[in-house]
Structure 1
């Protein structure tokens, strides 16, 4: 009977059987587990539109696999429920260099965006992958207040070929297709000379990342 009542009103039966403070939401995930909620639970705070608006972003960084090359791309930030997420596609050439398929489903990556004291962080991975990349970005002063600068790391062993951390630049394009479409067409590997002037200035190719 209790089950039928709760099903009809679409409420959790524990509301009637347990004190409110003892009820936990199993759907909240590992970050809300009582063992660490007081330490990492803040990562579940919503990221506001003012902090990191929804829409398209153009990004640039040095290649992990070839330090003479750079990667440009496009990501899309969106909201779902109380969460902030991003999605995009790996460059085809980068996938080929790793011996991976280049179809859209394999190239697609998605990530969860979390608030930080002085910016935002994102954990990003491809579908079914067992490795992730960690991104940290902080907004910097600019004319249109539309740039974020930080770094990206990949979770690989020290002796694996390639670099493990690089500077990262995001430029907010919103939904301006006049900017989004050219950014999409230019996605992939490029030389330092192909970077836009502001990308070179912020990525500091001649300076080691510390």
Structure 2
């Protein structure tokens, strides 16, 4: 079982999409977005924001711009790295930012910040369908003991066991499918 204790909340639930084919073919063959990676530090986010804004138009996240609000580092970094990724040709290497970004296969604009009540509802639903014992007290994935981390685990397990489809990751528009590293072994998909 993957240890999801390493995943940190950013803006929305991030579910991991495991793909056995060519990663670059996957990104090029369908719409993809570059998003901030859970666990990225403020320093990593700021570095990504600065680099991306030196190579892509970040006017919309400047004061008075259409994407200025919410005025948070993670929101501005997410906008900037995606703008850079889209403008540079949507190659997997255009969404690395020193391992502080991920390719999302689901449009992240539909995923607003998720409240605790919705997270608990997602946990309750998923755990009726899959074995959530690893996130119970004393379980291998109990820590960190936060609704965000427990929901990420439960939702991902549900997704993995129910066809890995967009529908099995929707969770009232609070799930997000990303192409990423497998957190259980820290190797990059290729």
TM-score (norm 1): 0.24
Q: Which has the greater radius of gyration? A: 1
TM-score (norm 2): 0.26
Greater share of helix residues, 1 or 2? 2
Q: Which has the higher contact order (CA 8 A, sep 6+)?
A: 2
Greater share of strand residues, 1 or 2? 1
